[in-house]
Amino acid sequence: MSLLLRDTENYGNIYIEDAAIVEIGCAAYDADTVIDAKRKALVPGFVNTHTHAAMTLFRGYADDLPLQTWLQDWIWPAEAKLTGEDVYWGTKLACLEMIRTGTTTFNDMYWHVLESAKAVDEMGIRGVISNVFIDVDGGSGGSDEETQRENKRLITKITKDYSDRVIPALGPHAIYIVSEESLLWIAEFAREEDLLVHIHVSETEQEVKDCIEKTGMRPVEYLDRLGFLGPNVVSAHCVWLDDNEISLLAKHNVKIAHTPTSNMKLAVGQKMRYPCLRAAGVSISIGTDGCASNNNLNMLESAKFASLSQKSATNQPTMMPACDAFSMVTKHGAQALRIGEGGGEIIEGALADLLLIDLQLPGMTPLHNLDSNLIYASSNCVDTTICDGVVLMEGGVVDGEEEILMKASETAFDLVNRRQ
C-alpha cells in the first residue's frame, strides 16, 4: 500500500509505503491513496508515555475531592466491578480521543489487558500495553508467583494474537504494592524478553516517607538496589526526587513520563525537578495520565501545562521553550517507547506515524512559529492522523466514531451504577 501526502506546507510531498516514510520532498508520485495537504503542516504523531486508557469511563465522575476520598469512595469501588467489556469500550473511547488529538502511540497500564489489546488493535494506533501488576495488600488477589505466571501468560498471548502495533509490557504498579520478589522477577524477566517496564514512581511525598521507613532508602535508591533500573523502564510522575535519585535515573537511562496536568489536579505538592533532571541528561517525555485525573488525553494541552508550570515554578519564562516541549511529546516519547529508528521525527525510513495540522484555524494564525502555535495556542488542530502508514482520521473524521461514543457512554453509566 502506498500513500502520498501532497503539498504539505513544511515538507512538500511525502511518499509512504506500507508502514514507513519512503521519501520526503519528492515528486508527486502516483499512490494508492493521495491526500491533499495544502495549508497543512506535517508533524510526527504524539507519544503519550503514561496513561490508563480505559479510565475515560471515569471522566468527570469524581473530581475536586481529597485524594483518599477520591480513591477509596469513588475510583476503587467502581474499579472493583470492572469487566473486560468495560475496559474494551473505555479503551476504544480513549483511542478515539487520541486519534482526534494526534496521539499515535501510548503507554498504558490497566486491568483486563487483553481487552485493551483488542481495542488498540482494532483502532489502528500503537499501544504499549501492560496489565496492572499488584501482589501485596490484596491487590489482584493472587500471590506473587501466581501474578508472575499470569503476567507471563498475558504477554505471550498479546504477542501471539495481535498486530505488531500492540506491544506487551510489564506494569508493576508501584513499589508500595508490588513485593520485592516480584520487582526482582520483573527486572529479570523484562531483560530476558526485552520488554518495557511501566511503573509509577514518587508521585506523592507519602510514598517516599513510607519507603524510607520500610527500607531506609528513597524509592529510586530502593529500585536501584534491586537492579530494577534500566533504559527499558518508563517511570511515571517522578515528582519527589533528591539529587542522588536524579543521578541514578540518569546513570541507568531510565525514561521519565512527566504528568504535569495530573500532578497539578491531584495536588501532589511539588513540581517535578525539570531543570535538574534535564541538566543530568535524563530523558523526559510527557504522559496525560488517565482521564480520572486530567481529564483528557490531549498531549498538546499537557505539553502547555508542562511548559507553563515549569516557567512558573522556576520563575523563568525561558524554561522549557515550545521546541523542547514539542520534542518531549514526539521524539523523546518515541525513544522512551522504543518506536524504532527515527521514531517521533520526520525522517526517511522511519515509521509513518504522522499528523497533518490544519493551519486554517485562528489558533494557527498568524504562523510566526509552528512549535509555539502547537504548544501554546492550539491544542485542537489535528486534521489527519496516520499510524503505521494507515490513515486513521482525515478531515477530523474517524470511522465508527458515533458507535464508540454511544457504547462507551452506556458502559460508563452501567459501570458506575453497578458499584452501588
What are the residues binding a copy of itself (CB under 8 A)? 56-61, 63-67, 70, 93, 96-97, 100, 261, 263-267, 269, 271, 291, 294-296, 298, 301, 305, 307-309, 311-312, 314-319, 321-322, 360-363, 365-369, 372-373, 376-380, 402, 405, 408-409, 412-413, 416
C-alpha cell at 67: 485524594
Q: How far is the CB of 67 from a copy of itself (least distance, A)?
A: 6
Beta carbon nearer to a copy of itself, 14 or 96:
96
Q: How far is the CB of 401 from a copy of itself (least distance, A)?
A: 8
CA distance 128 to 120: 9
Beta carbon nearer to a copy of itself, 334 or 355:
355
CA distance 241 to 218: 8
CA distance 420 to 416: 7
Q: How far is the CB of 48 from a copy of itself (least distance, A)?
A: 14
Report whether the peptide linkage leading into residue 317 is cis, meaning its omega lies within 30 degrees of zero.
no
Q: How far is the CB of 238 from a copy of itself (least distance, A)?
A: 16
3-state secondary structure of 7: strand
Beta carbon nearer to a copy of itself, 1 or 367:
367
Report whether the peptide linkage leading into residue 295 is cis, meaning its omega lies within 30 degrees of zero.
yes
Beta carbon nearer to a copy of itself, 216 or 366:
366
Whether residue 272 contacts residue 236, with contact meaning beta carbons closer than 8 Å, is answered with no
Beta carbon nearer to a copy of itself, 352 or 374:
374
Strands (E), 242-381: 255-258, 283-286, 354-358
Q: How far is the CB of 366 from a copy of itself (least distance, A)?
A: 4
Beta carbon nearer to a copy of itself, 26 or 377:
377
CA distance 184 to 172: 11
DSSP-assigned letter for residue 371: H
Q: How far is the CB of 217 from a copy of itself (least distance, A)?
A: 25
Q: How many residues in the chain?
A: 420
Q: How far is the CB of 379 from a copy of itself (least distance, A)?
A: 7
Strands (E), 263-337: 283-286
DSSP-assigned letter for residue 363: G
Beta carbon nearer to a copy of itself, 149 or 209:
209
Q: Is the dihedral of CA 222, 224, 228, 234 positive or negative?
A: positive
Q: How far is the CB of 41 from a copy of itself (least distance, A)?
A: 13
The continuous run of DSSP H or E covering 28 comes out as: none
Beta carbon nearer to a copy of itself, 82 or 336:
82
Whether residue 59 contacts residue 371, with contact meaning beta carbons closer than 8 Å, is answered with no
